[in-house]
Amino acid sequence: GRLVHLDAWAARPGPEFVGLLLTPYAGAAALYAAMDALRGIGVHVSDPHTWELTEPLDDVRAAAARFDPAGLLNPGKLPAVVPA
């Protein structure tokens, strides 16, 4: 068994869809190989198997600065800013 969780909502110019593919766990190597295979066919994959956020960081950092200026919530969740 494989399962699909699909969400849809009204947007412009048409509907938007987001989904989760669920599969039995067969180890970290198999998990990340499957994620790489999906990326290889053009599927956007977000890694929910990590604590640290990876994207879209600009919006997340702006919200954190506004709502948690002292950085008390979720310490370590945002990676350090790397100077360009």
Question: pLDDT tens for residues 23-70?
Answer: 888 999 998 999 999 999 998 887 777 767 766 788 888 888 899 999
**How many domains is the chain partitioned into structurally?**
2
Do both 63 and 31 map to the same domain? no
Do both 44 and 54 map to the same domain? no
- DSSP state string for 11-61: -SSS-EEEEEEE-----HHHHHHHHHHHHHTT-----TT-SS--S-HHHHH
Contact 20/47 with Cβ under 8 angstroms?
Answer: no
Contact 18/7 with Cβ under 8 angstroms?
Answer: yes
Domain span holding position 18: 3-49
Do both 27 and 44 map to the same domain? yes
Secondary element (H or E) of residue 64: helix 57-67
Do both 35 and 60 map to the same domain? no
Do both 7 and 45 map to the same domain? yes
Do both 29 and 56 map to the same domain? no
Do both 36 and 57 map to the same domain? no
Q: Is the confidence at residue 82, as pLDDT, over 80?
A: no
Do both 37 and 57 map to the same domain? no
